[in-house]
Amino acid sequence: MPTRPAATDLDEVVLLGAHPRHPTMEILLLGTTGYGVALLALAPEETLTAALVLLFASGVCFTLWTSNANSLLQLEAPDHLRGRVVGLFYFGFAGTGSLGGVIAGLLASAGGTQLAFTVAGVVTIAASTAALLALREHQRLRLALATRLRP
């Protein structure tokens, strides 16, 4: 456990160079997709060094994802609801984490850790792809509406 704060600090230092000055959905989706790819790449890995590199990459992507998600929610929420919105956000991550652990355990006991990481990676990439498509459609509709409203 003593290496966790150092790894978290290193994640943040690495992200400082790649992270924009403000949170964006695109960076959030980059984080979620990268997280899924890292998990998928980790599934068949048997060497310690490669596993450590992939775990570090997944941690960086997870930090990118969660920090952008949290920031975007706080920026969009009205002042009087911000605490409730952040509470729901953390409930979604911490409160449902136990369920994810049970599912991962069931998958690992049925087909090993390779199956658990593969399913986690595929589901994460699929969710990221669906979110990206929804974001592009939203942007397209917003542009079409703005074009129609121009004098």
* Cα separations in angstroms, 120 against 19, 39, 97: 25, 7, 13
Report how many helices (DSSP H) and strands (DSSP E) the chain contains, helices first.
5, 0
Residue 37 has a pLDDT of: 96
Q: pTM to 2 decimals?
A: 0.78
Cβ proximity of 51 and 129 under 8 Å: no
Query: What is the per-residue pLDDT for 3?
Result: 46
Place of tokens 């230092």: 13
Mean pLDDT value across the chain: 85
For the chain, give the percent of residues with pLDDT over 70.
Answer: 85
Burial class of residue 35 (count of CB atoms within 10 Å of its CB; 0-12, 13-18, 19+):
buried
